[in-house]
């Protein structure tokens, strides 16, 4: 059953909220500018550090640890070996690997909402929110105390997720510790069928059904009831790996590059040092662009919040407010592009002046095009408003 709630917000309340949003926008814009500047500095430092590391790295065999390489940036490959299998003693599950992860879930009520808002004549807003309820498996407890409709109560979650990690392993003559092991992922499901006896001995008289990589606690796994729980297991496998790091005794530590970053690269399979550094450089570029896009999007939000009162004030006649929001939205987008590109360009002036010039040119061009477009629109409106000749 769905529940519908209608709320009304007066024009004056909306004006007050929009001016409060202006303050947030004024704070958000310099934060985004700082984030964009920091990101460019981080990107340059990481690129230089990786370039430095690629020129200093020495590939060594894993069969022996050479004392002469102490403190140097070394690269080696080979099979990762973990001496003992990992065990979740609480449920009797054992698996070989780097990490054994237990994921606990409970079947519970989840509240979903969908809202539709319309602006009314006079500037007020009416929001109609529809709440619906569904049963889902969730790994985190859902607090049902705030649900709009009673009768959808979730019990406390009785089982928690957990992780068992190998403290160390070996890569030939080298010892591999957590700083390397934690970088490995690609978890695989753990089949539990062959471990049923150990599992039942661990859980005692609790009723459970074991299937695939899951232990179900409930009367019927195919038709679960609210409060039923289940746990599933995955393990990060061993296998061939490649490591680039500072040789420290018989293990690996982060290498401090003169450019500023610490370097410790880990990958699956037997990869060359060149391939590992290329992947790291590619990942640095992806992260740089992700933060750039996020920063420019944040600038758009900030400028939009600063100009939001214009649309709200004109919402006395809703169509005027819609027109105003379209215009301020376009202007906010142009401002975000201009400010974002100029910020990025300034950060790169000392390193890549040509790139800086291109970015500034794009920013100026975008602003000029917007200004020219605005003037043409103003002239067109003036022509339409002019009286016809007698």
Would you list the DSSP string of 19-44?
A: HHHHHHHHHHHHHHHHHHHHHHHHHH
In a domain, 114, yes or no: no
Residue 12's pLDDT band, with cuts at 50, 70 and 90, is confident
Co-location of 248 and 343 in the same domain = no
pLDDT at position 322, please? 86
Same domain for 208 and 266?
Answer: yes
Nearest to 231 by CA among 127, 157, 290: 157
Looking at the structure, tell me whether residues 72 and 179 fall in a common domain: yes
How much is the average pLDDT of 374-381?
A: 54
Q: 261 and 290: one domain?
A: no
Q: Give how many domains the chain has, as a whole number.
A: 2
The answer to whether 296 touches 311, Cβ cutoff 8 Å, is no
Picking from 271, 299, 332, the residue at the C-terminal end of a domain is 271
For range 319-331, the mean pLDDT: 86
Mean residue pLDDT across the chain: 89
Using an 8 Å Cβ cutoff, are 214 and 230 in contact?
yes
Residue 200 is encoded by which pair of tokens? 């039942």
As a whole number, mean pLDDT of residues 13-40 equals 92
> Of 216, 240, 271, which closes a domain?
271
Mark whether 167 and 104 lie in a shared domain. Answer: yes
Q: Spell out the residues 6+ positions from residue 3 whose beta carbon is closer than 8 angstroms to its own.
A: 130, 131, 148, 149
Q: Are residues 179 and 303 in the same domain?
A: no
**Cα Rg of the chain, angstroms:** 30
Does position 386 have pLDDT exceeding 80, yes or no? no
Residue 164 in this model has a pLDDT that exceeds 90: yes
247 and 318 assigned to the same domain:
no
pLDDT score, position 362: 66
pLDDT score, position 43: 92
Strands 188-189 and 174-177: unpaired
Range of the domain at 33: 7-50+283-385
Residue 166 scores a pLDDT above 90: yes
Tens digits of per-residue pLDDT, 183-193?
Answer: 999 999 999 98
Q: Is residue 349 part of a domain?
A: yes
CA distance 207 to 199: 11
pLDDT of 221: 85
Q: Give pTM, 2 decimals.
A: 0.82
Whether residue 385 has pLDDT greater than 60? no
Give the Cα separation of 253 and 71 in Å (integer).
Answer: 9
Select from 271, 300, 324 the last residue of a domain: 271
Mean pLDDT, range 128-156, rounded to an integer: 94
| Reported confidence tier of residue 284, pLDDT bands at 50, 70, 90 | very high
Q: Tell me if residue 151 falls in helix, strand or coil.
A: coil
CB-based contact 249:88 (threshold 8 Å): no
Return left, alpha or beta for 172; rule: phi > 0 is left, psi -120 to 50 is alpha, else beta.
left
pLDDT recorded at residue 355: 58
Distance, C-alpha 227 to centroid of its chain: 30
Q: Is residue 143 domain-resident?
A: yes
The predicted structure's pLDDT at residue 351: 52
> Which DSSP letter does residue 195 get?
G
76 belongs to a structural domain: yes
74-122 pLDDT, tens per residue? 999 999 999 999 999 999 999 999 999 999 999 999 999 999 999 888 8
My answer on whether 11 and 77 are in the same domain is no
CB contact at 8 A, 39 and 232: no
Mean pLDDT calculated for residue range 320-348: 84
> Does 248 share its domain with 291?
no
> What is the structure's pLDDT at 390?
47
Same domain, 30 and 74: no
| 49 — pLDDT class (breaks 50, 70, 90) | very high
Mean predicted confidence (pLDDT) in 187-210? 93
For residue 308, tell me if it sits in a domain: yes
Whether the predicted pLDDT of 9 surpasses 50: yes
Asked if pLDDT for residue 382 goes beyond 60, the answer is no
Tokens 């987008």, residue? 333
């Amino acid at each position: 059953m769905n529940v519908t709630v209608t709320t009304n917000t007066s024009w004056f309340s909306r004006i007050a909220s929009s001016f409060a949003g202006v303050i947030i926008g004024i704070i958000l814009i310099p934060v985004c500018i700082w984030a964009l500047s920091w990101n460019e500095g981080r990107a340059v430092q990481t690129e230089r550090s990786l370039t430095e590391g690629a020129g200093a790295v020495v590939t060594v065999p894993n069969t022996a640890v050479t004392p002469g390489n102490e403190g140097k940036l070394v690269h080696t490959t080979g099979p990762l070996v973990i001496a003992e299998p990992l065990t979740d003693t609480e449920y009797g599950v054992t698996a070989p690997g780097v990490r054994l992860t237990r994921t606990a879930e409970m079947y519970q009520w989840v509240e979903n909402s969908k809202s539709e808002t319309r602006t009314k004549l006079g500037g007020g807003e009416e929001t109609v929110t529809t709440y619906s309820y569904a049963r889902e498996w969730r790994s985190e407890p859902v607090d049902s105390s705030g649900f709009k409709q009673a009768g959808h109560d979730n019990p406390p979650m009785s089982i928690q997720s957990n992780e068992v990690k190998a403290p160390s392993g070996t890569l030939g003559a080298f010892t591999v510790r957590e700083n390397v092991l934690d970088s490995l992922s690609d978890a695989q499901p753990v089949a539990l069928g062959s471990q049923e006896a150990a599992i039942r001995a661990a859980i005692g008289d609790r009723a459970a059904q074991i299937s695939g990589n899951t232990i179900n606690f409930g009367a019927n796994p195919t038709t679960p009831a609210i409060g039923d729980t289940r746990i599933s297991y995955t393990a990060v496998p061993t296998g061939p790996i490649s490591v680039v790091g500072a040789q420290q005794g018989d293990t690996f530590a982060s290498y401090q590059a003169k450019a500023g970053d610490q370097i410790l690269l880990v990958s699956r399979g037997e990869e060359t040092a060149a391939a590992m550094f290329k992947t790291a450089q590619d990942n640095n570029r992806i992260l740089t662009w992700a933060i750039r896009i996020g920063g420019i999007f944040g600038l758009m939000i900030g400028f939009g919040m600063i100009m939001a009162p214009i649309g709200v004030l004109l919402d006395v006649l809703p169509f005027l407010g819609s027109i105003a929001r379209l215009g301020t939205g376009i202007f906010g987008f142009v401002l975000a592009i201009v400010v974002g590109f100029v910020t990025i360009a300034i950060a790169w002036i000392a390193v890549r002046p040509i790139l800086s010039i291109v970015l500034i040119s794009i920013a100026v061009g975008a602003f000029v095009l917007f200004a020219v477009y605005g003037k043409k629109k103003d002239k067109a409106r003036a022509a339409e408003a002019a009286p016809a000749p007698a």
